[in-house]
Chain A
Amino acid sequence: MKGKRSIRQILDSDHVSGYLFILPFIIGFLVFTVFPMLASLVLSFTEYDILSAPEFIGIENYKQLFLKDPLIYKTLYNTLFFTLASVPLKLMFALMVAMLLVKANRITSVYRAMYYLPSMVGGSVAIAVLWRRMFAGDGVVNALLRSLGFPGDIYWLGNEKTAIWTLIILAVWQFGSPMLIFVAGLKQVPSSLYEAARVDGANRIHCFFKITLPMLSPTIFFNLVMQVIGALTAFTQCFIITNGKPLDSTLFYAVYLYRQSLTYGNMGYGSAMAWVMVAVIGVLTLIIFKTSDKWVYEE
């Protein structure tokens, strides 16, 4: 007969102790993620300025957003432009440098560190401040262009066409994390494949397109998804360096969302904007996932 189990035994049973160990996560997940998400969904159908009680207005926010707010489309365009320009460039550099540095020895690990350093500090305010100065009219970029013989009189941050490129360059500069992930991926490619290809007379270019790229495609896929999400939600650097200027040509969706909800206090509208952002991210991720069986090679 089963006797009474002591409290100690009950606590140590798999089910109870499992939940005890992950309890912090469950509480945090419910309080700081699930509840805010539900609240945000509800708020998106209200008008709310935090001072007075929220007022239910149906789909008015979404109507306003899609039909009457030209800045939504402008900021969406800016964000997509930034994403489409920065992510492919970033991944290309990451892969290129990863291939140069895949051999493990003392000197390549020093190089790797140097290439990773910008990613390490790139998200900080200090770098944002530096960037603002580097691309100023009398900044170091123009000075370098002049010393190379170019006119070097571009006012990068004041021109609608060039301002967004300062942010793109900053993003591309931080290719360190995808680079390290590529290095790890490249090490997984069995060297026997290359040896066999060489015996068959393949040159390096063949090897790259027929072996390296297909074998690396799961890693590329992973990096692509992470970087796209990161670019679509980019905030700090845009907020500090350009803050949307000039003429909203660099205003990112996330920064506009912040403005609407916290600067103007339109929390209901901000919530609706946030859900549109989730939808955009969801659709883009879905597209990447759907096309992945065409180009991601699985063993």
Chain B
Amino acid sequence: MGIKKKRFLMKGIYHITVAFLAFVMCYPLIWMLFSSFKETETIFVTASRILPEKFVFHNYGNGWKGFGGIRFTVFFKNSIFVSVLCVLGIVVSSTLVAYGFARIPFRGSRFWFSCMLLSMMIPFQVLMVPQYIMFNQFRWIGTFLPLIVPCYFGNGFGIFLTVQFIKGIPRELDEAAKIDGCSHWGIFRRIIFPLIVPAMVTNGIFAFIGKWDDFMSALLYLNKPGQYTIALALKLFCDPSSSSDWGAMFAMSILSLIPVFLVFVFFQKYLVEGISSTGLKG
């Protein structure tokens, strides 16, 4: 066999293996997607086949009716409301804090930066009980406030990511602006801010995914079905006791993944860069 032929063969084996493994990885998702178009009674009878015999769409209609008289419209609205406000808070506060850490030489800067890194390592379970008690004292249980307010005080991952990004911007730009009489705020607003938009996008994407999927804080703090976010609603909707309409459950599960999926498709580059450059997340 010639070298050329051998190389071609190797390439073929490589692509077949990698593509097959990729298919295996995505199989559960593909299976759920197509199951949501099957008649509920046939989902498990035909579990090993992917494509439905006949595409039906009524699972989506049935699921959307929700439970307890509350439609999924409400849950989606709640999730969007919480996620958008959280993303806004995280992006704005993390960007400001990151500028302080990255560019202003003040006393104690190192100490607070270490505090920030440390705070990322603290398991949530230690904070869970006292935070719950604290929010209970504030009379915030049963409102969206415990989910949203903490986002406005910066988030470790976001700050870290933005600091890394700002450090990549040449300092000469700041210095030139300083000589021209710019204040720190001026430098931030006119020089740094326009340049770190990509970092803010990355930060916003991670924040959005995190908040959209956030199950734990919703479980802790929301107690009226009308306030449930999609994560919590889906859990209750899918509890074996409340229903066994698997078609509808899969349909709603698919819908709940769509926003995250869209973000993934459109901002993939930012995600990959965010993870590779900070070496953080998940």
A binding-site residues for B, Cβ under 8 Å = 8, 11-12, 14-22, 24-29, 31-33, 35-37, 39-40, 43, 50, 97, 100-101, 107, 111-121, 123-134, 136, 138-140, 142-144, 146-147, 173-174, 176-177, 180-181, 183-184, 219, 222, 226, 229-230, 232-233, 235-236, 239-240, 254, 257-258, 261-262, 267, 270-271, 273-275, 277-278, 281
Contacts and interface: CB of A to CB of B under 8 A. Distances in A.
B22 A181 contact: no
A261 B257 contact: no
Given A40-B130, A113-B268, A258-B128, A173 B25 contact: yes
B140 to A, nearest CB: 13
A227 to B, nearest CB: 9
Main secondary structure of the interface of A (DSSP, over half): helix
A37 B280 contact: no
A236 to B, nearest CB: 5
Which residue among B112, B129, B272, B276 has the maximum number of chain A CB atoms within 10 Å of its CB?
A: B129
B272 A112 contact: yes
A119 B261 CA distance: 11
B260 A121 contact: yes
B9 interface: no
A16 B127 CA distance: 30
A12 B231 contact: no
7 contacts: A22-B112, A39-B134, A124-B257, A125-B213, A235-B125, A240-B235, A274-B125
A226 B280 contact: yes
Given A100-B14, A124-B231, A37 B48 contact: no
Contact of B105 (A14, A100, A119, A233): A14
B112 to A, nearest CB: 6
Given A39-B130, A274-B126, 10 more contacts: A19-B106, A32-B150, A114-B25, A116-B271, A121-B29, A123-B282, A129-B238, A134-B28, A140-B31, A146-B48
Contacts of A31: 153
Nearest to A285: B121
Interface in B1-56: 14-15, 17-19, 21-22, 25-26, 28-29, 31-32, 44, 47-48
Interface of B: 14-15, 17-19, 21-22, 25-26, 28-29, 31-32, 44, 47-48, 93, 96-97, 99-101, 104-109, 112, 115-116, 119, 121-134, 136, 150, 152-154, 159, 183-185, 188, 209, 212-213, 215-216, 220, 230-232, 234-235, 238, 246, 249-250, 253-254, 256-257, 260-261, 264, 268, 271-272, 275-277, 279-282
A27 B108 CA distance: 15
Contact of B122 (A8, A17, A20, A37): A37
B61 to A, nearest CB: 18
Given A40-B127, A277-B125, A267 B276 contact: no
Given A22-B100, A97-B21, A181-B275, A36 B126 contact: yes
Given A40-B129, A50-B133, A115-B22, A25 B150 contact: no
Given A181-B276, A275-B126, A117 B26 contact: yes
Given A118-B25, A119-B282, A124-B231, A21 B97 contact: yes
Given A100-B14, A124-B257, A277-B125, A29 B119 contact: yes
Contacts of B14: 100
Given A111-B18, A262-B132, A233 B106 contact: no
A22 B130 contact: no
Given A123-B213, A125-B231, A181-B276, A18 B47 contact: no
A149 to B, nearest CB: 12
A290 B121 CA distance: 18
B154 A28 contact: yes
Given A29-B119, A124-B256, A144-B48, A236 B132 contact: no
A25 B107 contact: no
A37 B188 CA distance: 34
Given A21-B104, A40-B127, A126-B254, A174 B116 contact: no
B48 A143 contact: yes
A117 B250 CA distance: 18
A263 B101 CA distance: 41
B213 A117 contact: no
Contacts of A233: 123-125
Given A22-B112, A130-B250, A174 B282 contact: yes
A35 B129 contact: no
